Structures are given as structure tokens and as C-alpha cells.
């Protein structure tokens, strides 16, 4: 199975993770209150973490605690509570920076999530650096949120979108990619891990080739950060985005990492309070990055929750999480592949935590519904990645996605439920 750790060039031990730590999944599960509930009288088997991950008690308690003890608006109050809330908010920024190994906290902009972060870059980078005829390179593996913002920009500015193809297993075609790079290319925007197939993109190679031509690279890290150590400096990423809710944190918060000189060169994305230095009716001046990009009251409680989620993952040890999940994915891939009539979609050389499949004779939505009645929560559909479904000539797939709290017994429950589908539809 894949080597998820390869995604980061930095050894995990050097990043403070305890690689040798034993991974006790049952203890981990006790941290997630929702995992003990039942659905339709059966134990919940939650295999939809790629859509949104469940929350540990530590995150829930951190958010409750800030509301009970230290809540006020940030950056603007002179009073004690506002100072405490501001400290917690800026501490969260430091945690995100350390989590990604950014050079400094000022490289982290809080956003509503990955989608908003990509839209921010498309708008601000587009306004500053792009004009008609300039090219932005995407890949066939992208989520809609890393396609549509560029199409909106194309419609506004007349830029051209080029797409890196993939092979039948879901591997990126690097030869074609090299051929797409030209003096017209002004940005490469690419996912780190495909949410539909689980492919881990060979980012270092992608970024190095772009940088050889001084082309910046934006990475959509939504499906990477919950599963592997990410070092934006070792990778050389110019922008890196993720969503908190897929990392066991709350909804409504995510982060944009931007290499400081590049980030600080961009115009604001939205205007309002907190992002300005001065305002008059004639003109306004703006703060430096990251505050220039954080107009209005930010998601304060959610930032505290995200920081707690990062603490949680770091305490488990990302190497230990990786080993656990790689074992699960390998086990699930073997188990489902052994069922006649089940086809695994996406067999890339390097994969993370996602298993897409189809069941002969049953529409993925029907499979998802039967699985649900058996207590197994999966996603069935196009996974907000319609181009990749078209690439495989499929309307949809069933997607089981694994996280640090899943077990082999849950994979067995998935396989049993798939056999039930076959009995019903056979």
C-alpha cells in the first residue's frame, strides 16, 4: 500500500511526532462521542470522513470552554475578555502555521474553508497577476472548488484553463504536465489528495517543475492534512489550503497558507472592518497579510476548535495515524476487491484513505441507501468531482473514506453490507 508519509519531505520525528507511539484505536474511539450512537438500531459505522470528519471531545470542550470563560470579539477590545479571546485566536494561527511548517504565523489566513481560500487566491492573485490569454493548469483530479473559481476568473479575465490528464488507475500523467508548462502558464492549482479516488499527487515533482519556470503552485490540501504530515516549506508550495471540518475540527473555519512575500503582494479579497489601516470617504488603506484578508469578525470559537483538533492529531502522532490508516485502506481494498461484481475505481500507486467502488447491477445511490440501513455511512454520488466521473464514464461511485477512528471490524461491516446489496439486487 501507499507511503503516505512520502507526501512530506521532512522526517516525522524531526517534526515532533512520536513515530513509535502505539496506536490504540479503541481509546481513540472513546474520544468521539458520536461513534457510540446507533442508527436504525445498529452500531454506527462512519465511513464518510472525507465529506466531513467527526469531532473528538477535546474539540467540543475547547469550544465550549472559550464560550463559557473567555469569549469576546477579537483584535478590537481593550478589555480583559477581548484580550484573552485575541490571544486564543492568534494562538490558533500559530498552531496552524506550525502544523503546516509555515515560516511564520503571518503566512496563515483564516477563511471559512478550503473553498473560500481558493476563491480568495483566484480573486486576488487573478487581479494582480493574470490577464487574458494567461494559463492556469489544473488536473483531472480536482474537486469542483478547485475548478469553478478558475472558470469564474476565465469568464471575467479571459484566462485559459489547461488540465493534466490521469491514467486508468488515477495516476497523474507527469509527461503531459511537463508539456503543458509554458511561458503562458501563470499558476498551477492542484489537489494534494483526490477526494474521489484517493490518489496522492507527487507534489514535489509537480512543484519543482513549475518552479523551474518560476510558476507558483496552489495546493488543495483538504484530503491530505487529516492523513499525513504536510511541510509547505519542504514541498515548496506557494499556497496551501484546507478545511477545519475534515480535520476533526468545526465547520466554518479553514486556512490559507501563502508564502509571505507573495501573499502580502495581493490585493484584498473582501472589504470591511479589521482589514484596514485607515478609512476615509476618499480612500482606504489596508493592513498587511494576513489581516488584509480577514474582513469582518472572524470565526473565533471555530479557530479555537481548530487549534484543539490540531493538538489532538499531533498528540496521536501523525506517523501512527498514517500507519493505522494505510493498514485499513489496504485491508478494505483487498476485502472489497475479493467480492465478485465489485470494482474498485482508482488504483493509483500512492493512495490515502479513500476507497471508491461500484457494485455490478446496483446504482451507487441504491448501494448507499442499503448500506445506510445496515448502519454504514458512505458517500454515493459524484463527490463534487464530476470531471473525474466523466473520465471513468461513470455517473457516480460509492466512496468509503477512512479516518483515524475506523477499525477493521468496520471494514468487515462494510463488506457484509455490500454482500447484502448483491443479494437484494442480484
Out of 147, 222, 253, 328, point to the residue binding ligand PLP (CB under 6 A): 222
Gap between the terminal Cα atoms of the chain: 31
Task: Please state, in angstroms and rounded to a whole number, the distance separating the CA atoms of residues 397 and 379.
Answer: 8
Out of 17, 48, 220, 238, point to the residue binding ligand PLP (CB under 6 A): 220
Q: How far is the CB of 221 from ligand PLP (least distance, A)?
A: 8
Is 125 in a helix, a strand, or coil?
A: helix
Q: Which is nearer to ligand PLP, 339 or 384 (CB)?
A: 384
**By the 8 A CB rule, do 207 and 239 touch?**
no
Q: Which is nearer to ligand PLP, 47 or 418 (CB)?
A: 47
Out of 101, 195, 333, 401, point to the residue binding ligand PLP (CB under 6 A): 195
Q: Containing H/E element for 415?
A: helix 408-425
Residue 147's nearest CA partner among 116, 109, 190 is 190
Catalytic residue among 19, 72, 384, 394: 384
Q: Which residues pair with 345 in a beta bridge?
A: 356
Q: Which stretch binds ligand PLP (CB under 6 A): 7-15, 24-32, 109-117, 163-171?
A: 109-117
Task: Please state, in angstroms and rounded to a whole number, the distance separating the CA atoms of residues 225 and 318.
Answer: 10
Q: Containing H/E element for 241?
A: strand 239-243
Site membership for ligand PLP, residue 115 (CB under 6 A): yes
Residue 407's nearest CA partner among 325, 313, 336, 314 is 325
Site membership for ligand PLP, residue 249 (CB under 6 A): no
Site membership for ligand PLP, residue 124 (CB under 6 A): no
Q: Which stretch binds ligand PLP (CB under 6 A): 38-46, 54-62, 110-118, 410-418?
A: 110-118
Is 224 in a helix, a strand, or coil?
A: coil
Task: Please state, in angstroms and rounded to a whole number, the distance separating the CA atoms of residues 101 and 308.
Answer: 17
Q: Which is nearer to ligand PLP, 198 or 216 (CB)?
A: 198
Within 354-413, which residues bind ligand PLP (CB under 6 A)? 384
x-or-dash pattern for ligand PLP, window 322-361, by CB under 6 A?
A: ----------------------------------------
Kindly give the residue spans of alpha helices, DSSP state H, lying in 158-228. Answer: 174-180, 203-211
384 catalytic per annotation: yes
Summarize as ranges the residues that interact with ligand PLP (CB under 6 A): 113-115, 143, 145, 191, 195, 220, 222-223, 243, 384
Instruction: Tell me the catalytic residues.
Output: 384
Amino acid at each position: 500500500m501507499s507511503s503516505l508519509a512520502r507526501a512530506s519531505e521532512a522526517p516525522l520525528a524531526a517534526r515532533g511526532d512520536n513515530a513509535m507511539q502505539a496506536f490504540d484505536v479503541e481509546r481513540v474511539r472513546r474520544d468521539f462521542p458520536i461513534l457510540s450512537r446507533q442508527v436504525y438500531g445498529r452500531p454506527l459505522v462512519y465511513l464518510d470522513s472525507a465529506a466531513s470528519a467527526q469531532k473528538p471531545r477535546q474539540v467540543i470542550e475547547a469550544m465550549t470552554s472559550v464560550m463559557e470563560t473567555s469569549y469576546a470579539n477579537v483584535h478590537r477590545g481593550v478589555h480583559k475578555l477581548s484580550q484573552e479571546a485575541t490571544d486564543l485566536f492568534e494562538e490558533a494561527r500559530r498552531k496552524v502555521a506550525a502544523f503546516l511548517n509555515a515560516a511564520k504565523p503571518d503566512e496563515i489566513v483564516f477563511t471559512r474553508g478550503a473553498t473560500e481560500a481558493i476563491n480568495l487566491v483566484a480573486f486576488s492573485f487573478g487581479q494582480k497577476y493574470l490577464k487574458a490569454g494567461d494559463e492556469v493548469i489544473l488536473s483531472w483530479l480536482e474537486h469542483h472548488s478547485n475548478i469553478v473559481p478558475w472558470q469564474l476568473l476565465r469568464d471575467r479575465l479571459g484566462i485559459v484553463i489547461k488540465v493534466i490528464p490521469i491514467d486508468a488507475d488515477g495516476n497523474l500523467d507527469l509527461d503531459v504536465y511537463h508539456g503543458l508548462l509554458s511561458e503562458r502558464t501563470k499558476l498551477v492549482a492542484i489537489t494534494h489528495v483526490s477526494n474521489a479516488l484517493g490518489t496522492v499527487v507527487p507534489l514535489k515533482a509537480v512543484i519543482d517543475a513549475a518552479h523551474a519556470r518560476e510558476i507558483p503552485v496552489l495546493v488543495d490540501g483538504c484530503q491530505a492534512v487529516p492523513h499525513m504530515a504536510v511541510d509547505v516549506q519542504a514541498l515548496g508550495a506557494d499556497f496551501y489550503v484546507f478545511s477545519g471540518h475534515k480535520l476533526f475540527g468545526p465547520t466554518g473555519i479553514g486556512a490559507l497558507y501563502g508564502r509571505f512575500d507573495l501573499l502580502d503582494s495581493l490585493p484584498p479579497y473582501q472589504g470591511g472592518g479589521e482589514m484596514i489601516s485607515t478609512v476615509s470617504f476618499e480612500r482606504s488603506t489596508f493592513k498587511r497579510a494576513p489581516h488584509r484578508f480577514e474582513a469582518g469578525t472572524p470565526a473565533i470559537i471555530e479557530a479555537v476548535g481548530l487549534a484543539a483538533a490540531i493538538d489532538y492529531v499531533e498528540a496521536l502522532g501523525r506517523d501512527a495515524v498514517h500507519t493505522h490508516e494505510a493498514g485499513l485502506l489496504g485491508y478494505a481494498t483487498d476485502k472489497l476487491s475479493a467480492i465478485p461484481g465489485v470494482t474498485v475505481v482508482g488504483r493509483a500507486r500512492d493512495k490515502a484513505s479513500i476507497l471508491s467502488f461500484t457494485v455490478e447491477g446496483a446504482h451507487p445511490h441504491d448501494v448507499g441507501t442499503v448500506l445506510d440501513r445496515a448502519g454504514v455511512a458512505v458517500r454515493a454520488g459524484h463527490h463534487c468531482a464530476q470531471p473525474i466521473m466523466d473520465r471513468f464514464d461513470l455517473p457516480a461511485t460509492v466512496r468509503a473514506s477512512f479516518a483515524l477512528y475506523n477499525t477493521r471490524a468496520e471494514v468487515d461491516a462494510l463488506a457484509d453490507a455490500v454482500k447484502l446489496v448483491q443479494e437484494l439486487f442480484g
